[in-house]
Amino acid sequence: MDFKKGTPVTVQSFHYDLTDEKAVAKSDVKPGIRKLDVSGDDTHSEEDGSYYDVAVFFDVIPEPVEFEVSGAIHQIVQIKGYHGDGTDIDNADWQLLSRPLVEYIETLTYEVTQVTFDKPVNLNFKANF
């Protein structure tokens, strides 16, 4: 799959909380895709492929259970030669599309925990698709 980034990665929301003793570790990372209608936009042509809002929604409590991060990160991309609705994109292509977004989750978590714990936490995970 070949794609062109239409926008930089956008952090729609990123939330960090210390957890209480009842919290349980989890790694809930869900990708999503939504086809965009650019028919009224003179600067974008769908001739080479349609435009999509690729998103990753996440709610993660890593081991050891000390904190939780959650939020949503997006990026607009044009998928070359593809005009479908996104439901038939295979796992390898999902990983290619979503990896830059997942890296933002890892980077933001690393930086926040560096400040809050004086020791960064590296999530270094892969989403399940």
Tens of pLDDT along 66-82? 999 999 999 999 999 99
Task: Decide if 45 is inside a domain.
Answer: yes
Task: Decide if 14 is inside a domain.
Answer: yes
Domain interval for residue 61: 3-117
Give DSSP secondary structure letters for 86-122.
STT--HHHHHHHHHHHHHHHHHHHHHHHHHHHSS---
Domain CATH number, residue 36 = 3.10.420.10
Task: Decide if 75 is inside a domain.
Answer: yes
Candidates 46, 73, 43, 44; CA nearest to 58 is 73
Under the banding of pLDDT at 50, 70 and 90, the label for residue 129 is very low
Task: Decide if 110 is inside a domain.
Answer: yes
Task: Decide if 123 is inside a domain.
Answer: no
Task: Decide if 126 is inside a domain.
Answer: no
Q: How many CB atoms lie within 10 A of CB 12?
A: 10
Task: Decide if 86 is inside a domain.
Answer: yes
Task: Decide if 94 is inside a domain.
Answer: yes
- pTM of structure: 0.87
Distance CA 11, CA 105 (A): 9
pLDDT of residue 46: 80
Tens digit of pLDDT for each residue in 101-114?
999 999 999 999 99
Domain count along the chain: 1
